[in-house]
Amino acid sequence: MAKFNRIYTQFADLPNKGKNYCNHFPYINKNPKPIDIMAHFPCEKIQYEGPSSKNPFAFKHYNPEEMVAGKSMKEHLRFAAPYWHVMRNVLADPFGGGTAQMPWDDGSDSVENALARVDVFFEFLDKMGIEYYCWHDRDIAPELNDLSASNAALDQVVAKLKQKQSETGVKLLWGTACLFAHPRYSQGAATSPDANIYAYAGAQVKKALESTKELDGLGYTFWGGREGYSTLLNTNMKRELDHLAAFLHMAVAHADKIGFDGPFYIEPKPREPSTHQYDSDSAACLNFLREYGLMDRFTLNIETNHATLAGHTMEHELTVAANAGKLGSIDANRGDTLIGWDTDQFPTDLYLTTQVMLVVLNTGGFTTGGLNFDAKRRRESHEPIDLIHAHVGGMDTFARGLKIAQAIREDGRLANFVQERYSSFDSNVGATVESGSCTFEELEAHAMAHGEPSLASGRQEMLENLINEFI
């Protein structure tokens, strides 16, 4: 009852002034069923109603059990929710503080508050039908005065998450350690110039990895938030990269020791917060992993907005990873071309989700990875229900992307065009090039014998029109 009063009192401060919270949304519940006033997200479980539905609290395209190319939509898409955005993002921006209403959160660093958030998060997952989630250690539990106190707090929250996972069947897609928020990491964590800080970071990853294992996490992510530099004047890049590689090798060794056999993901991002981050894009990450003998256990977790910041398209970043057999998982969001930072918006662009799903389907789909909405609401969308709208949109847009991508694959014209475009490499001199046996003498003889070649059109506009047939 105390809890009821607390929540109800806080709701009463909101614009709808203590009425049933759903009165705030007059366009739903034409036939109102009683809604639990205790619910933190005032809507019922989101259901599939089909493309003609006008209900904002329904999926128009995401129909979890619907089969697409022999697999259900939910198996293809493997949606995950990020604990940091859903539960912890107060929606601040560089010019103003947080706006997000979180009536369940008392704002304290107590373990009790952290435990209370877990229930709210699982209510959210249940309402959305999202079966995977991701966390940083410091999203789920507070950082306290010393490492052992922080570890003990983490243990308590992990125990509750474990219980909730077993009650609901929800799975941890990946865990990670926050090695970028605390001031100690301002000059890097695994690339810090200070070995004491490096050690602290190692201890934190050790614990985060053990917690991931405890929760049967499918993977573990490294996003090198501060692993880069602000100026080369004070930086020994070679030593920093050597240290980073040693750190990742220690993570692999510890994973082997505790029996965590999931993949490690590296998440590329070029800048922000640092001027230059070592994991700047897919190609840089792959080069780093190859150079330091880390290819076996690592794959990439690719984020749309990070691709944009790197001056690439998401399709490019995914393709680079896929070509190396290293497309592990996706942080699904989008940027804004008018704002130069990581806006982490929800993916609502059909062209984008179609391109993403084309690459994913062409690689045979996710194994351990999935689509993690590393996305946040706009600062103006401060009500808890906006989290529901945001995820409904992201899931529906990806469901459409999946269906469109599969239709393009079934149609076959796009793939046939590309295959035909390279068909001169299927025989004669082209085939010897691909087999690795060709020499410059042979190329010269071929060029002499064949005269000036006639080059076919790339047909970009025709292919763009073709894609639009499906969108």
Question: Interface residues with ligand XUL (CB under 6 A)?
Answer: 136, 176, 221, 223, 267, 269, 303, 331, 342, 374
Between 221 and 354, whose beta carbon lies closer to ligand XUL?
221
Is 260 in contact with 218 (CB distance < 8 Å)? no
Helix (H, G, I), strand (E, B) or coil at 292: coil
Q: How far is CA 76 from CA 32, 263, 362, 367, 453, in A?
A: 34, 19, 12, 9, 44
- 301, amino acid identity: N
Q: What residue ranges in 60-137 does DSSP mark as E strands?
A: 67-68, 71-72, 79-82, 132-136
Provide the token pair at 166.
């077993």
- What's the min distance (Å) between Cβ of 463 and Co ion? 31
Is 307 in contact with 320 (CB distance < 8 Å)? no
Q: Which does 137 bind (CB under 5 to 8 A by kind): Co ion, ligand XUL, none?
A: none
Closest CA to 264 of 274, 249, 279: 249
Tally of CA atoms within 13 A in the half-sphere of 418 that contains its CB:
5
Rounded to whole angstroms, the Cα distance separating 41 from 368 reads 30
Q: What is the DSSP string of 141-209?
A: S---SSHHHHHHHHHHHHHHHHHHHHHH--EEEEEE---SSSGGGTT-STT-S-HHHHHHHHHHHHHHH
- What's the min distance (Å) between Cβ of 49 and ligand XUL? 32
**Closest CB to ligand XUL belongs to which residue?**
223
Tell me whether residue 243 is one of the annotated catalytic residues: no
Provide the token pair at 1.
């009852």
Tell me whether residue 139 is one of the annotated catalytic residues: yes
Between 124 and 180, whose beta carbon lies closer to ligand XUL?
180
Between 221 and 319, whose beta carbon lies closer to ligand XUL?
221
Between 177 and 388, whose beta carbon lies closer to ligand XUL?
177
Between 331 and 396, whose beta carbon lies closer to Co ion?
331
Q: Which does 317 bind (CB under 5 to 8 A by kind): ligand XUL, Co ion, none?
A: none
- What's the min distance (Å) between Cβ of 218 and Co ion? 16
- What's the min distance (Å) between Cβ of 451 and ligand XUL? 53
- What's the min distance (Å) between Cβ of 331 and Co ion? 4
Between 307 and 322, whose beta carbon lies closer to Co ion?
307
Q: Which does 176 bind (CB under 5 to 8 A by kind): ligand XUL, Co ion, none?
A: ligand XUL
Which of 137, 139, 279, 374 is labelled catalytic? Answer: 139
Between 60 and 85, whose beta carbon lies closer to Co ion?
85
Rounded to whole angstroms, the Cα distance separating 124 from 385 reads 10
Provide the token pair at 95.
């010019």
Between 139 and 374, whose beta carbon lies closer to Co ion?
374
Distance of CA 209 to the CA centre of its chain: 18
Rounded to whole angstroms, the Cα distance separating 120 from 126 reads 10
Binding residues (CB under 5 A) for Co ion: these are 303, 331, 374
- What's the length of the chain? 471
Between 210 and 331, whose beta carbon lies closer to Co ion?
331
Which of 136, 243, 306, 312 is labelled catalytic? Answer: 136
- What's the min distance (Å) between Cβ of 374 and ligand XUL? 5
The runs of H, that is alpha helices, within 231-367 are 237-258, 282-291, 304-309, 314-323, 350-362
Q: Based on C-alpha coordinates, what's the Rg of the chain?
A: 25
Closest CA to 352 of 391, 386, 397: 397
- What's the min distance (Å) between Cβ of 269 and ligand XUL? 6
Contacts of 319 (CB under 8 A, 6+ apart): 359
Q: Is the peptide bond before 268 cis (omega within 30 degrees of 0)?
A: no
Is 224 in contact with 300 (CB distance < 8 Å)? no
Catalytic residue ranges = 136, 139
